[in-house]
A and B are shown apart, each in its own frame.
Chain A
Amino acid sequence: MRKQKEGSQSHLSTEGINTKFLYLMHIHDSAFPIGTYTHSFGMETFIQNELIRTKEDLFHFCQMYLHENVAYTDGIFVKEAYQQEKLAELIRLEKICDASKNAEETRDASSMIGKQFVKAVLPVSETPSLEEWYQLLQDKKVTAHFPIVYSLYAKDLAFDLYTTVLTFLYSSTVGLVHNAVRAIPLGQKAGIEVIHRLIPEMEKATITVLERDLTDLSNHAVGLELASMQHKYLRSRLFIS
């Protein structure tokens, strides 16, 4: 790992950075097997209740999801995990992350994705922090929530904090768009348009997240939380959460 870090620092050419970026592109590929395509985090309840029907609805929903949910919850966990050097504090942070997710399905989804992520990247990457986390997971000391393990991975790969938060927000939102396109359903073109309109929103949200800390955590997106709690009572479901 140290070699990789030194390597990236000594070749601060665009070429070096771009090549390294391929690792991140790879894990954000929709075919990367961490199961994001099976989770809607409550969105499916809104789709079934016909609150999200058009690409405009989807854009506004994702905009709300980014600014009122992720930027007040997981985005902050990504940032705080990145800045935390002490293991005991990192474990405490993950406990807070777990407890802050009230809706059972959303809480489980976050740790399911996190676990699959760790299992997928560990065999092919040298990331000492994730290895350590995996050990803690085996010992049942942590639950491997996705924002925490993603942050550890991106930091080990020497990506800066801004890139780490931005790409996390990208993956959280784009995953939802892909799922919505299948569930509503909408055409592929609509999905592409929504994602393009969301990219500037992701940038705004990242800048906001970088100014926040744990005291800013907020579950005020209560409608979404209730939708997640109600999800298991839907008659037919495409998604686990």
Chain B
Amino acid sequence: MNGKLDLHFAMRNQKTIMKDVYYQPPLKASRGLYVDNPDNITVYLMESSGGLVAGDRNAYSVRLDERTNVTLHPQAATKVYPAYNGSPSRQQVEIELAEQASLTWEREEVIPFAESEFHSHTTINMKENSRFYWQEILYPGREKRGERFTFDKCHTQLEVWMEDDCLVYDGLRFEPSKQDVKHFGVMGDYHYIASVWLIDKEIELDEEKWNHSSADHQVSITRLRDAGYLVRFLSNDLPRIKKEMDQLGRKS
């Protein structure tokens, strides 16, 4: 199946509105909701098939006009089923942010099942004064079934460009059967990788607060060149990751 979801946000009477929506199942968007304030529109991203099966491809295209303020919320984790026929599942996200636009993409979660193959490519083109917040958790598989890095391949790629300047170019390419995933320089005994990208020139975080490490949870922060922060987690404590991500989501 090839899902498609195109969203276009614009300003009308000082308010962000969802101007155009085009979708092709299994992808669909909720109506625009004004949760906290009339300034910010929240849209839930829905996937009706329950997951990606070998060969499936979902493509998102999101456009924000000047000064719009949008939160996108994937309703469920992306489950990637085995690549029985050898064809991988793919997800493509393309985002265009105009001047002073702000986009928050809440917690993208990827669960690659045993023997699955997944490739996701997310590209953001933004302006110097637009803002972009992205959260992602990569699971090692279906933990309750004891799946830990038993997928065939999982490759996620995030690129953020500001005109000709590259702000983020982060690939995570796992092919566990060929890699030394258990080494402490890679995953060690941790199972989850989580990333919070805060691409915002103005933002200031308490860096020491986001640097701690224990046997089952590690978090560190780094400043990106002139562009904000990356906070990265290696952890076995999923509720704690989510809790700390929520705190970061409030951009404190």
On A, residues with C-beta under 8 Å from B are 46, 51, 60-61, 63-65, 67-69, 72, 92, 95-96, 98-100, 102-104, 107, 215-227, 229-230, 233
Contacts and interface: CB of A to CB of B under 8 A. Distances in A.
A216 B173 CA distance: 7
Q: Interface SS of chain B: helix, strand, loop or mixed?
A: strand
Nearest to B225: A98
Given A220-B174, A220-B186, 4 more contacts: A68-B180, A95-B165, A226-B220, A226-B232
B173 A226 contact: no
A99 B221 CA distance: 15
A12 B223 CA distance: 49
A67 B122 CA distance: 26
Contact of A102 (B155, B170, B174, B213): B170
B186 A99 contact: no
Interface in B179-229: 179-180, 183-188, 190, 193, 208, 211, 213, 218, 220-225
B186 A104 contact: no
Interface of B: 155, 157, 160, 164-174, 179-180, 183-188, 190, 193, 208, 211, 213, 218, 220-225, 230, 232, 234
Given A218-B171, A220-B172, A230-B213, A102 B224 contact: yes
A99 B213 CA distance: 25
Shortest beta-carbon contacts, A-B, top 9: A218-B173, A229-B220, A99-B166, A99-B169, A224-B185, A95-B166, A100-B169, A64-B183, A226-B220
Contacts of A229: 211, 220-222, 232
B222 A222 contact: no
Contacts of B193: 222
A219 B170 contact: yes
27 contacts: A60-B183, A61-B183, A63-B180, A64-B186, A68-B179, A72-B173, A92-B166, A98-B166, A99-B169, A100-B171, A104-B222, A215-B157, A215-B171, A216-B171, A218-B155, A219-B170, A220-B174, A220-B186, A221-B186, A222-B186, A222-B234, A223-B184, A223-B187, A224-B186, A229-B221, A230-B213, A233-B208
A98 B218 CA distance: 25
B213 A217 contact: no
Contacts of A72: 173
B234 A226 contact: yes
A219 B185 contact: no
A76 B93 CA distance: 25
Contact of B185 (A65, A96, A216): A65
A218 B172 contact: yes
B222 A103 contact: yes
Contact of A223 (B168, B183, B225): B183
Q: Which of B184, B208, B223 has the most CB of A within 10 A?
A: B184
A230 B164 CA distance: 30
B118 to A, nearest CB: 14
A233 B218 CA distance: 14
A230 B211 contact: yes
B186 A68 contact: yes
B223 A104 contact: yes
B232 A225 contact: yes
A222 B173 contact: no
